[in-house]
Chains A and B, each alone.
Chain A
Amino acid sequence: MLQVSVYRYNPETDKAPYMKDFEIDTQGKDLMVLDILHLVKEQDSGMAYRRSCREGVCGSDGMNMNGKNGLACITPVSEVAKNNKLVLRPLPGLPVIRDLVVDMTLFYQQYERIQPYLINDTPAPAIERLQSPEERDKLDGLYECILCACCSTSCPSFWWNPDKFVGPSGLLQAYRFLIDSRDTATRERLSELDDPFSVFRCRGIMNCVAVCPKGLNPTRAIGHIRDMLLANAT
């Protein structure tokens, strides 16, 4: 039997959040954390969490498992449970809507701010805008981000200034468009980032790198943005 402790909070009925304990029979199998949540929901149908693809692609079920953010669907219980105990909490730092469901508005606003789309002023050619294999290689390790928010909500700088610091996820995406050979708005993008908060509130804590379920490295991307800003301004 696995001991599972789940964060519960319904703002309409609860004065304060509380932890609710469950005993789950895993039948000796090493299930994914999301499977455990299904079994918990069989015992308590009122419990709320997000999930969709259940294979680490949609990024819906980012949560805090025994203190570390990750995707419940691709995290085996054996990887996070300690002493046969699993503790599930919502992503830290964002307002809780209910139980494990958080309000991602602040996260999406930062994503929107970096203009996550290709900007190109030149007339559209008859065919696609072509890239050399080398130019395309630069996007590897950047485009794979699924916006699960595991990184940004594990970042203390994002906790303190979610309205001003773009956060690791947004900055990884910012660099993805800064380095794209087809994008012509590099200067405008950089000038939007040159303040003490948007990029420079990153203090190199690297929680983002430690938790990214896709194995991406936002800290390195932030370093590249700093290099570009420096090259542009000195």
Chain B
Amino acid sequence: MVTNITNFGRSGLSDWLMQRVTAVILLVYTLFLVGFFLGNSDLDYLTWTALFQATWMRIFSLLALVSLAAHAWIGLWTVSTDYLKPTGIRLVFQAVVALALFAFVVWGVQLLWGV
């Protein structure tokens, strides 16, 4: 057993499962948006804001945003442990990524509930 304290779920299995679940959520969200654009070729501001004012769309969007953050964290954490061998550089990289993702989630909440 190799110990780790900075990966997402403290277990390789949970990271692996989370990576796949979040990927499916992101795929469904992307397909939904593409479908929405295709079904509304004359898309205007009112339709667009109406979509994002609906509670289910806010839940769906926040779910996608949190999924993106988790997916990105697991992926970039893996990249950092593959390629960044000096501990200091790796920790700084991981901290920057974590801070950026946290900021994106908070910012996203503000955007979603600001419509």
Contact = CB atoms under 8 A, between A and B. Distances in A.
Contacts of A229: 13
Contact of A200 (B3, B12, B82, B83): B12
A79 to B, nearest CB: 32
B83 A160 contact: yes
A194 B2 contact: no
A53 interface: no
B27 interface: no
Contacts of B14: 233
A200 B13 contact: yes
Most buried by B among A161, A192, A194, A234: A194
Given A157-B82, A160-B83, A161-B82, A191 B1 contact: yes
Nearest to A160: B82
B76 to A, nearest CB: 13
A44 interface: no
How many interface residues does chain B have, given as a range?
10 to 19
Given A161-B81, A199-B12, A194 B17 contact: no
Contacts, number: 50
B7 interface: yes
B12 A198 contact: yes
B55 interface: no
Nearest to B77: A196
B32 interface: no
A211 to B, nearest CB: 21
A200 B15 contact: yes
B41 to A, nearest CB: 39
Contact of B2 (A157, A191, A197, A230): A197
Nearest to B79: A160
B82 A196 contact: no
Contacts of B4: 195-197
B102 interface: no
A191 B3 CA distance: 12
A214 interface: no
B83 A233 contact: no
B47 interface: no
Nearest to B6: A196
A85 interface: no
B16 A226 contact: yes
Interface string A189-211: 00111111111110000000000
Given A192-B1, A194-B11, 7 more contacts: A160-B82, A195-B11, A196-B4, A196-B12, A200-B12, A226-B13, A233-B11
15 contacts: A157-B82, A161-B82, A193-B12, A194-B12, A195-B2, A196-B12, A196-B15, A196-B81, A197-B12, A198-B1, A200-B12, A200-B15, A226-B16, A229-B13, A230-B13
